[in-house]
Amino acid sequence: MKEIVHVMFSREQVENRIKEMADQINEEYGMKPLRLICILKGSVFFSCELAKHLKMPVTIDFMSVSSYGNSTSSSGKITIKKDLEQSIQGVDCLLIEDIIDTGYTLSMLKPMLLERKPESFKICTLLNKPDRREVEMEADYTGFSIPDEFVVGYGLDYAQKYRNLPFVGTLEFIEE
**Taking CB under 5 A as the criterion, which residues in 6-65 touch Mg ion?**
42
CB of 67 to ligand XMP, least distance (A): 5
**Alpha-helical segments (H) within 5-156:** 11-29, 44-53, 104-114
Contact between 153 and Mg ion by CB under 5 A: the answer reads no
Binding window for ligand XMP (CB under 6 A); candidates: 23-31, 44-52, 83-91, 149-157: 149-157
Nearer to ligand XMP, 53 or 110 (CB): 110
37 or 100: whose CB is closer to ligand XMP?
A: 100
Amino acid at 166: P
Shortest distance, position 174 Cβ to ligand XMP, whole Å = 18
* Angle in degrees, 0-180, between the axes of helices 11-29 and 44-53, rounded to the nearest 10: 60
Alpha-carbon span 129 to 24, nearest angstrom: 21
Q: Give the integer Cα–Cα distance in Å for 146 and 133.
A: 12
- Minimum CB separation from ligand XMP for residue 32, in Å? 27
Number of C-beta neighbours around residue 34 at 10 A: 23
The contact set with ligand XMP (CB under 6 A) reads 42, 67-68, 74, 97-105, 150-152, 156-157
